[in-house]
Structure 1
Amino acid sequence: MQETPFCLSVGHLLSFTMSDSNSTDVTNPSTFILLGIPGLEAAHVWISIPFCAIYAIALLGNFAILFIIKTEPSLHVPMYYFLCMLAVTDLVLSTSILPKILSIFWFNSREINFTACLTQLYFSVSFSTMESGILVAMAFDRYVAICDPLRHSTILSNPMVTKIGLALVLRGVILELPYPFLARSLPYCRTNIIPHTYGEHIAVVKLACADIRVSSYYGLSVAFFVVALDVSFIAVSYTQILRAIFRLPTKDARLKTFGTCGSHLCVILVTYIPALFSFLTHRFGHNVALHFHVLMANMYLLLPPMLNPIIYGARNQQIRDRMLQPFTHKGT
């Protein structure tokens, strides 16, 4: 039987094409086949090295952040509670996709259950939304700490921090819940081959042999709403922060105060710039190679979990001193 145009367009793993199932309606296929990074299959083993390093650093760094904050009473304040939320989000986000990616690279384990694929899809979008919301909460914490420091402990009390965290979780869970249900409702009768490393939303729904505009428009609307709303809140917070900083009498005081925001600003850039770059290349980079699209879709999910603990570990003196404490004790 003649191969499908889709398979010809990606041009690999012909042994995985479902020549028999291409001609039959499969409303919910039992499994999908993940190609990995199309066009770079021969280099998968080499590509796995940085991916594995990213995952190892993300695990060690975020668990270290959680351990340090838990065991250090002086860090039991709102800023570090939000940092704990960020660390947990990063751990779930990276663990939801990286083990499967590495199994593709190392063991050629390309099959993924249909339900597992949709679960991957849901976790990647929902926890990305939670992470964006946590950055807003951290910006609000910096705003209160700098613009209204005397009321900081009153405004951001432990119950309030808990409510903010719960609201961010519910926002991510509810806003992204239609994604897997919309994807599941579509009929898949062309192919079950996904030219990607994980169950990415657009890569999955493009396999459907039905109108995907509802799913596509919903995904675009939610992404635009979340990013526009969160970036706006962050921008307003930092506008007020900068106004307060410029009112300080000395340059040293201004630099010291602004330095308390440095880690958060770096994390914002690490989170939003790769995501924006991936979004723009996906929507407008029609002439960009497929493997580049896939790599960008991986990087915007994998880089923040690796870099966030490094940023806070390098820039935050309390966390840095706590991390270096075992080594400094050995040297004395």
Structure 2
Amino acid sequence: MPNSETFLQTARRVITTEADALNTLAQGLSQPFADAVELLLNAKGRVIVSGMGKSGHIARKMAATFASTGTPAHFVHPAEASHGDLGMMAQGDVVLVLSNSGETPELADMVAYTRRFRIPLIGVASRPDSTLMKQADVGIVLPNVAEACTTGIVPTTSTTMTLALGDALAVAIMEHRAFTPENFREFHPGGKLGARLSKVGDLMHSGDAVPLASIKSPMSDTLLTISQKGFGVVGVLDDEGYLCGIVTDGDLRRNMDGLLDLTAGEVMTKAPTTIGPESLAEEAVAIMNAKKITCLFVVDPKGSRNAKGILHIHDCLRAGVV
């Protein structure tokens, strides 16, 4: 009976084999990769990615990665393409076809269609003399390395290299276009990732919900504002209407004697910590945790300290930002 050590040896062999293949792929990349990036960058339409079998699964992932990083893309199944889905391709598109052998018969109609309508074709295969690579405008040849299985026939190393190649294409395009986390958030509004990339302006309270008081407001009125707004704090505005301080529970405790005889300006903490509406909510949480506070006033990013809103730590927690 096999033992645990045997399983571990197999796993290490497979992973090492695939890691070595990735290094070989990286070292072997040359001008065709750069040419492929240029074609993808210059596409006026969409990037159509296709492949059959295991290559099809990799192609779906490539299309999803392109689409989520600012390059419009979708997957077209080669068998479905022959039954009407060729209409999903048009002039202005760029077609990226994956086939380890370069001879996958189901791809023939797609390749022929790109040639007929002069749609740029990028081929990825391990055989430079294959039909796909001969027909392609740009051909990226995968290194001739063994699959990770002992039989040498199960797509393992080849699919890993193709997957990494797709990531390399997507990241090269991202970096050229200076794609930012804010851009990324536009395509990922849901889930944990969307929450991490939420902006302060998306979560903050604004308008009448913001607890504000004049620097000359008597503390009796200021306490009423704190109670009504429910944030446990109040922002203090100077004579020009700009945020100049904040009154917190700590300020109230430090001024208990004769509190009601004082004004908000006399009790407040000056120059409170603030944040801009375009900042990431994740940054706001980090600031609140570091300073051990529960609220941040949101001010005009131009530096005028015009109070735009208030963000509570609970707003971030509800949105999944932790």
- Taking structure 2 as the reference length, the TM-score comes to 0.23
Larger relative strand fraction: 2
- Taking structure 1 as the reference length, the TM-score comes to 0.22
Larger RCO (alpha carbons 8 Å, 6+ apart) = 1
Q: Which structure is larger by alpha-carbon Rg, 1 or 2?
A: 2
